[in-house]
Amino acid sequence: MVRDRTKLRSLYQCANAKFPTTGKGMLRCSEGHKFPLAASVKAAGRGAPLVLASCQKCGDYGEMGPPVPADERGWLKAEGSV
């Protein structure tokens, strides 16, 4: 069964997802939930979807708005791009 990724919860949409003040390391949850290693600042910078299994049924998920389009995620440019 293939799931529609636009209907999955993402850290980009959760009000409880927090970036570290150093701008490096791991994202964290203000409600205390643990994220896997895939939830890093580096992954967010590359524009990774950040759709985590732990967020899909989380009772503390605080949706802030619609999904962030793939072309609007991340801030690191791939090598060779302008």
Q: Answer yes or no: is 76 within a domain.
A: no
φ, ψ of residue 12 in degrees (nearest 5):
-65, -25
Q: How far apart are CA 43 and CA 31, in angstroms?
A: 21
What is the pTM for the complete model shown? 0.76
Q: How far apart are CA 58 and CA 9, in angstroms?
A: 9
Structurally, how many domains does the chain consist of? 1
pLDDT at 82 over 50: no
Q: Answer yes or no: is 42 within a domain.
A: yes
Contact 71, 12 (CB under 8 A): no
pLDDT at 80 over 70: no
The pLDDT assigned to 17 comes to: 94
Q: Answer yes or no: is 27 within a domain.
A: yes
Q: Tens of pLDDT along 25-72?
A: 999 999 999 999 889 999 999 999 999 999 999 999 999 999 989 999
- For residues 5-32, give the mean pLDDT: 89
